[in-house]
Amino acid sequence: MQKFVITGGAPLSGHVRIAGAKNAVLKMMAAAVLTDEPCSLRNVPKISDVAILREVMNDIGFDVRRSNGDGLELQAREATWPFVPLEAALKMRASFILLGPMLARFGRVILPNPGGDRIGRRPVDLHVMAMEAMGATIAYRNGYYFASAPPDGLKGAHIRFPTVTVMGTENAMLAATLARGTTVLDNAALEPEIDDLIAMLCAMGAEIERSGERRIEVQGVARLGGAEHRVIGDRLEAETFAIAAAITGGDVTLDGIDPVHLAAFLEVCDRMGVQYEADASASSLAIRGTAHTELRAVDVRTDPYPGFATDYQAPLSVLLTQAVGASTIHETIFEDRLDHTRELVKMGADIELLDERRARITGPTPLHGAEVGIADLRAGATLILAALTATGTSVISGIEHVDRGYEQIEAKLVALGAQINRIEA
């Protein structure tokens, strides 16, 4: 097991290159299943989630290889073993995104129920509902979904999601590209990663448009071809580095990110008094750290895009420990996504859990080093942020969860002046 040892206090400064978006690239890898032609992705982050999905796809019989630099080459000629093992699903819930493309292209797949994780129950009923609406038969036995399409393939359907779901929208959209007729998805998710996936699918020959508020229309086509696509920058990694700059009173420019995708986070920065300069044409965002006493407390509620992302709230909570007054965070997307607050309290934060979904954070409180750890990606990044601003040294365990979604986080932080080491423990 590895741990991070972090000595806090150094203001971060310099430039950092933001990697491609995890929550876009995983779905694009699944999109490559829709064609037997080669697909090429660029700006692919070197994170363990990509490596896990690559392994799963190789086991199914697809050719997925890293190419020079940040490239990934994929070709899905045939599925020799259309099965996703439980170990992979336990490591990465997003493997469920293979459901739609496998059904659409090969007519069958067996996938484990990815179940719950640290951030709540996380059911997949809406993915199943969408596939069944398109004519699929899905049986659930011994923890696995056995899914098959009718002999003449999936058919278009009108699907209304009762809850906005990112992967549910994507799974249905991927399946619909090769279905007969038109599929209409209502109450669809609006995340920029989905628009990036739509751009790749259209380059492959799919017919997809956003045709109304939260509506996506897909006209099924008989076949799709290969495509080359460059993945958008990761707004969630960008938010983490923006907070690293703000919390340490540093001055950091993030390159390779469209600040428009961060609008909800930047609106909170405005309310708190965090100084920044966004340059959409240069795809950059510069954060100028402010003395902590100047930060204002805010009330924040998470919502589907374009609202304030659930993934933003844990990192933001570190900044709120340094704002003057009482802030509240209201998590509306997942239950159990406030666990990191317990670890922050060990570091000196003044946080009260009002209920399962709401926390009150009172600041400013100086943080101090501690031994902390948590088994979740964004919560892990949160503890790194807290350690960067704490006095003394912190030891953080569970960092394999951070490696799932942050490319070389310690190398990037060291280049900005942080004191952080990865140790074997």
Q: Is 382 a residue that touches ligand EPU (CB under 6 A)? A: no
Q: Which stretch binds ligand EPU (CB under 6 A): 166-174, 176-184, 226-234, 248-256?
A: 166-174
Q: Is 352 a residue that touches ligand EPU (CB under 6 A)? A: no
Nearer to ligand EPU, 175 or 333 (CB): 333
Q: Tell me the pairing of strands 371-373 and 419-424.
A: unpaired
Q: Is 131 a residue that touches ligand EPU (CB under 6 A)? A: no
Give least dist CB 37 to ligand EPU, A: 25
As a whole number of angstroms, the distance between CA 362 and CA 130 comes to 43
The conformation of residue 241, written as its DSSP 8-state character, comes to H
Q: Is 378 a residue that touches ligand EPU (CB under 6 A)? A: yes
Q: Is 165 a residue that touches ligand EPU (CB under 6 A)? A: yes
Q: Is 249 a residue that touches ligand EPU (CB under 6 A)? A: no
The residue with tokens 């109450």 is 187
Give least dist CB 98 to ligand EPU, A: 12
Q: Which stretch binds ligand EPU (CB under 6 A): 134-142, 159-167, 208-216, 258-266?
A: 159-167
Q: Which stretch binds ligand EPU (CB under 6 A): 9-17, 162-170, 344-352, 394-402?
A: 162-170
126 near 165, Cβ under 8 Å? yes
Nearer to ligand EPU, 196 or 258 (CB): 196
Encoded tokens for 28 = 């694009």
Nearer to ligand EPU, 31 or 390 (CB): 31
Q: Is 94 a residue that touches ligand EPU (CB under 6 A)? A: yes
* Residues contacting residue 361 through CB under 8 Å, at least 6 positions apart: 297, 317, 320, 321, 323, 326, 327, 328, 329, 341, 349, 350, 351
Size of the site for ligand EPU (CB under 6 A): 24
Please report, for residues 155, 195, 273, 286, 421, the alpha-carbon distance to residue 220 in angstroms, rounded to integers and kept in the order given: 8, 18, 48, 42, 50
Q: Is 3 a residue that touches ligand EPU (CB under 6 A)? A: no
How many other C-beta atoms are found inside a 10 Å radius of the C-beta of residue 349? 25
Residue 120 bridge partners (DSSP): 117
299 near 308, Cβ under 8 Å? no
CA angle 175, 177, 178 (to 5 degrees): 80
Cis peptide before 306 (omega within 30 of 0): yes
Q: Is 124 a residue that touches ligand EPU (CB under 6 A)? A: yes
Nearer to ligand EPU, 4 or 312 (CB): 312
Q: Is 356 a residue that touches ligand EPU (CB under 6 A)? A: no
Order of all β-strands in the sheet with 158-160: 158-160, 182-186, 215-219, 207-212
Give least dist CB 259 to ligand EPU, A: 19
Q: Is 372 a residue that touches ligand EPU (CB under 6 A)? A: no
As a whole number of angstroms, the distance between CA 234 and CA 26 comes to 12
What x-and-dash track marks residues 15-54 binding ligand EPU by CB under 6 A? -------xx--x----------------------------
Q: Is 227 a residue that touches ligand EPU (CB under 6 A)? A: no
As a whole number of angstroms, the distance between CA 245 and CA 290 comes to 9
Q: Tell me the pairing of strands 39-42 and 71-75.
A: antiparallel
Nearer to ligand EPU, 216 or 286 (CB): 216
Nearer to ligand EPU, 72 or 166 (CB): 166
State which of positions 299-338 bind ligand EPU (CB under 6 A).
309-311, 333-334
Nearer to ligand EPU, 217 or 234 (CB): 234
As a whole number of angstroms, the distance between CA 238 and CA 235 comes to 5
The contact set with ligand EPU (CB under 6 A) reads 22-23, 26, 94, 122-127, 163, 165-168, 236, 309-311, 333-334, 377-378, 405
